[in-house]
Amino acid sequence: MQGVIELFVPDSLTTAKIAPQLGFNCFELNVHQDGKFFSLIDAEEGFPQADSRPSGHGIPLLFPFPNRIRGDHFEWNGKTYQLPLDQVSFNKTNAIHGFCLDRPWRVIASHAHSVTAEFQLSVDAPERRDFWPADFIIRGTYTLSNSALKLKVEIENPDTVPLPWGFGSHAYFRLPLTTKSKVTDCLFQAPVNAQWELEDCLPTGDVKKLSGPIADLPEGVRIGDVALDDAFRLVPGADRCEILDEAAGYQIAQSFSSEFTQMVIFTPPGRDAVCLEPYTCVTDAVNLTDIDTGWRVLPPGKSCVLDITIALEPIVA
């Protein structure tokens, strides 16, 4: 089994740790600014251990579908595909988070400040190949700079049939940034304009206006004022969200490419963390193909490139 890879930048104390053996998960990002260290990513001590829950720590990468698919099967082009509830679901009710986050990825390039790894369904999880309409390759590259970590994701269809897909990132952002603040006083801002109506964590297909405390999401909501595990639609063209620790004077900025059109926001109970999860499609999009959900289909031999950047920035008044 591959070991943990630590990235560093020459002449900087900023570091990141990635576990290729557990979904190419970046589970530690320590940024050095103004003589201080800021730990931006939340994971249990000792992660990744053999019994670590891969979706609950660090930055799980969700593919070929993010979040849930209703039940244990779906229909695509007239064929039924069975899904492995025992492998990818916590409550054994709905398939969840795809096929890549709990398996080793193969490292294909490694440098001091960057690492690239890939996962091919038919090669790295052949027993799961029949669960999806087409084979796929997902390749990720983490690149570390003094104050930011960039993830470039390339999705390829090596098959002879179209590849339906959705991708999501599920980062657990650790708060507060310093001991001067409390997690409940931190704010987060998300450029969303509508909320998906959910039943049992699955979209009904309807969207509704933002109301109550979450109506202020575009301007900023205090983490202590909300408890969320909800799906939202991003404003067209939006490419950035922030988490602000005003007492520390810094914010975490997460920017993303235009392929991301949805966002799930999760405040994990009992943890000093928040998840702002950019998705290319909404939850259960494979079953909502009659409406605009962001669900994509990649032709044979084609590829698509996405990117996400997480950065520490000073708050500018």
pLDDT in tens, 167-215: 999 999 999 999 989 999 999 999 999 999 999 899 999 999 999 999 9
Burial letters 147-177, b for 16+ CB under 10 A, else e: bbbbbbbbbbbbbeebbbbbbbbbbbbbbbb
pTM of the predicted protein model: 0.96
DSSP 86: H
Quote the Cα angle for 85-91-93, to 5°.
Answer: 55
Q: What does the pLDDT read at residue 91?
A: 57
Residue 20 in this model has a pLDDT that exceeds 70: yes
Which residue from 26, 4, 242, 252 is spatially nearest to 148, judged by alpha carbons? 252
The domain of 240 spans: 5-314
Residue 317 in this model has a pLDDT that exceeds 80: no
Q: What does the pLDDT read at residue 66?
A: 97
User: For residues 172 and 233, what is the distance between their CA atoms, to the nearest angstrom?
Assistant: 20
Which of 91-100, 157-166, 290-299, 305-314 comes out lowest in average pLDDT?
91-100
Q: Is the peptide bond before 176 cis (omega within 30 degrees of 0)?
A: yes
Tokens of 267: 């405040």
Which residues, listed in sequence order, are joined to residue 196 by a DSSP beta bridge?
A: 207
Q: What does the pLDDT read at residue 1?
A: 41
Residue showing tokens 């249990």:
44
User: For residues 33 and 14, what is the distance between their CA atoms, to the nearest angstrom?
Assistant: 8
- Looking at the structure of the chain, the number of domains it has is 1
Which residue from 116, 113, 90, 91 is spatially nearest to 16, judged by alpha carbons? 113
Across residues 288-304, what is the average pLDDT?
96
- Banded model confidence at residue 282, pLDDT cuts 50, 70, 90: very high
Residue 162 in this model has a pLDDT that exceeds 50: yes
Cβ neighbors of 280 (< 8 A, separation 6 or more) are: 66, 165, 166, 167, 168, 259, 260, 261, 262, 294, 296, 306
- Banded model confidence at residue 300, pLDDT cuts 50, 70, 90: very high
Across residues 135-151, what is the average pLDDT?
97
Q: Look at residue 131 and give its three-state secondary structure.
A: helix
Cβ neighbors of 114 (< 8 A, separation 6 or more) are: 7, 141, 142, 143, 144
For residue 32, what is the enclosing H or E element?
Answer: strand 25-33
Across residues 303-314, what is the average pLDDT?
98
Sign (positive or negative) of CA dihedral 246, 170, 282, 87: negative
Average per-residue pLDDT for the chain:
94
- Banded model confidence at residue 84, pLDDT cuts 50, 70, 90: confident
Domain at 78, CATH number: 2.70.98.10
- Burial level of 33, CB count in 10 A (0-12/13-18/19+)? middle
